[in-house]
Chain A
Amino acid sequence: MLSIKNLHASVDDTPILNGIDLEVRPGEVHAIMGPNGSGKSTLANVLAGRDSYTVTQGSVTYKGGDLLALSTEERAREGLFLAFQYPVEIPGVSNIYLLKAAVNAIRKHRGQAELDALDFLKLVKEKLALVQMKDEFLYRSVNEGFSGGEKKRNEILQMAMLEPSLAVLDETDSGLDIDALKVVAEGVNALRSPERSMILVTHYQRLLDYVVPDVVHVLGGGRIVRSGDRTLALELERRGYQWIAASAPAEQPSAAG
């Protein structure tokens, strides 16, 4: 699904990623943890193709092709989805309009006909239930005036509508109270499938109590310094990131699921 090799990236000429290697196979859920400034969000944004992030070295292969050669919208149409750490407010554009524009852009790319209004509405109502959002959400401007929890649920709603092959969730758990976290986690779990891979970027292991990853990676200084199964996250929680910083640089991570 995704193969990252020796990825280096900079933001405003400051190197942030210093040689990331990562293999994600279909159906796998990988958690990427790390202290602030370790490059977690940078990795998520580089994968989505944000302009201000420059790849200086390395490669990213997605579904057998060069991901870095694609524009942001082409990546999305190929099934890559980024759930934003800070979802953007867009006054004047309703949720339902965005969902329809997005779904139809992706369908068009796949050579499918646009959904008619009835089928679209049926689909969106089904997905709304998944994240426990009311119909009225559809008619509000995208994220405008939404609470933190509502914004994150909206990201999961979009993900459910777009049915990505690879979802990258950037600190989707941050700023959520326990109830909202459960709703979001249930939404994510409902979307797990043997064909769909996920990368959960998170600072805390709390989310991983609800969405159990196949592999956990720890990022430090722009590289993966340790990989393991879910017990690694628990150990991190117990011992803190200091423990990783103090330990020797990692051997090349394996992505055994």
Chain B
Amino acid sequence: MTGTVPVEATAKESLLNARDRCIDQLAGGRVGWVQRMREQGAVRFRERGFPQSTDEDWKYTSVRPIERRAFDCAVSASSALGSGELASFSISGLRSHRLVFVNGYLARDLSQLDGLASGVVVGSLADALDRDPDAVEPYLGRVTPSDMHGFTALNSAFLADGAYVRLGPAARVELPIELVFVATAGDREVAVQPRNLIVAGPDSRATIIERYVALDSSRYLTNALTEVVLERGATLEHCKLQEESSAAYHIAGLFARQAAASRFIAHSVSLGGALVRNDVVDVLDAEGAECTLNGLYLAGGRQHVDNHTQIEHAQPRATSREFYKGVLDDRARAVFHGRIIVRPDAQQSDAQQQNNNLLLSRDAEIDTKPQLEIYADDVKCAHGATVGQLDADAVFYLRSRGVGEREARSLLTYAFAHDVIGRIGEPALRQRLEAVLSDQLLTASAPRESGP
């Protein structure tokens, strides 16, 4: 189908046409509110289309490359993926409850859900919509800001499958819940649009690992949306690892709302993709809520990586910590926009934001913008952004000890990036990322066995 679209076709038309073709096959089709949510998404997407550079939030990120292409929709799990191929993505040493999605749809045979504690549901959203839509309705779509942008509307227009995680009151999940999204587009350029919903009940606790990987270097669009609800006292560590194909477009939203005394720790590591946009929006909606947003983006070649975060202190005495770092090489371009909103009622809010960037080449570019909107008077807010090269004194120090210049630079770059990775709680994931960083940043002559 991609081959037969007229030259004037755009992503918008092709996606709306594809939707008309596949809408009857989507899960939850008989449920009225699901139909309405999809319809609203389609209407809004038709109206708004893709974000334009005139939109302040998209000033530095042009989605023209996406707009100009025609995409087909992926409708069901392709059987192209065998367990051998899956093994190539496995994180060594990681024991997890695992859901595998191929092009956005659950691949049941590749998933592994043994030994889940009672009070814990881990499954596909499609199943939940077909079997128990009433349990989903109070949460789905309620956390995503309604005025977000065309991509979120587009995701809702295709709403069908993704991960559904529900932790009952005081449920503890010891092993991480791993959500693997595999793209295997082949010769079709498809739009993969998983919709994930995570509801952490009161005092529950879990770690979620959300991974995006590709089977080949094909071009496709991932437009993922994850909604997270943390009820009173819940603790959730969310690790997103983006390793899409080098030709892929990756647009992702992580939207969270936190109740009293809940803790949300979200790590975002962005490695792959040609054009990447991550939106993280977290509303600290009750007293004593805490969030930590950590991020690392490594980009080279002509990669473009945009991280937009928004933390809203809506109620008093909530705490937010944000720590994003970027390493840019070649002609890579990155954007960091960190918005912190403190509402008038949110007295004694405590917010800290830090964004540090390392530019390894003259042609790399970063636009970093902190944006604090503070409407309360008794608050502690701090932010800082740096853009720079490696510390010349540190390079000299290492060289004066006999370490070669190239090795000294790669060692310091590794250390810079590791600062984010080191904060990830799950040891197997941390080690995997340390190995990735080593491969990308450390030269072969550096001693490796113990890590810097």
Contacts and interface: CB of A to CB of B under 8 A. Distances in A.
Co-assembled chains A and B = yes
B414 interface: yes
Interface residues of B, number: 30
A88 B391 contact: yes
A137 B240 CA distance: 33
Interface stretch (B61-69, B195-203, B212-220, B399-407): B399-407
Given A97-B447, A97-B451, A91 B415 contact: yes
B60 to A, nearest CB: 29
Interface string A124-145: 0000000000000000011000
A81 B422 CA distance: 32
Contacts of B400: 48-49, 72-73, 75-76, 81-82, 84
Given A73-B403, A101-B403, A92 B447 contact: no
B411 interface: yes
B402 A92 contact: no
Contacts of A158: 401
Contact of A101 (B392, B415, B447): B447
Given A76-B399, A91-B415, A101 B446 contact: yes
B452 interface: yes
**Shortest 4 CB-CB distances between A and B: which pairs?**
A92-B415, A76-B402, A102-B401, A105-B402
B114 interface: no
B397 interface: yes
Interface residues of A, number: 37
B83 interface: no
Nearest to A117: B449
Given A71-B399, A73-B399, A97-B451, 16 more contacts: A48-B400, A49-B400, A76-B401, A77-B402, A82-B400, A88-B396, A88-B397, A93-B412, A93-B415, A97-B447, A97-B450, A98-B398, A105-B402, A117-B450, A162-B401, A162-B402
Interface in A58-108: 71-73, 75-77, 81-82, 84, 87-94, 96-98, 100-102, 104-106
A90 to B, nearest CB: 5
Contact of B452 (A75, A87, A88, A94): A94
Contacts, number: 90
A70 B124 CA distance: 63
Contacts of B392: 51
23 contacts: A49-B400, A51-B392, A51-B396, A72-B396, A72-B399, A73-B399, A73-B405, A84-B400, A88-B393, A88-B397, A90-B398, A92-B414, A92-B419, A92-B452, A93-B415, A96-B450, A101-B398, A101-B446, A101-B447, A102-B402, A102-B403, A141-B415, A142-B397
Nearest to A143: B397
A89 B414 CA distance: 15
A97 B412 CA distance: 12
Contacts of A117: 449-450
Interface string B434-452: 0000000000001101111
B402 A106 contact: yes
A114 B446 CA distance: 12
A141 B416 CA distance: 12
B402 A73 contact: yes
A88 B394 contact: yes
A47 B450 CA distance: 32
B188 interface: no
A100 B398 CA distance: 12
Contacts of B397: 84, 87-88, 90, 142
A109 B401 contact: no
A126 B11 CA distance: 67
Given A50-B396, A93-B415, A100 B402 contact: no
Contacts of A102: 401-403
Contact of A93 (B393, B399, B411): B411
A215 to B, nearest CB: 25
Nearest to A107: B402
Contacts of B402: 73, 76-77, 102, 105-106, 109, 162
B401 A90 contact: no
Nearest to A100: B447
Contacts of A76: 399-402
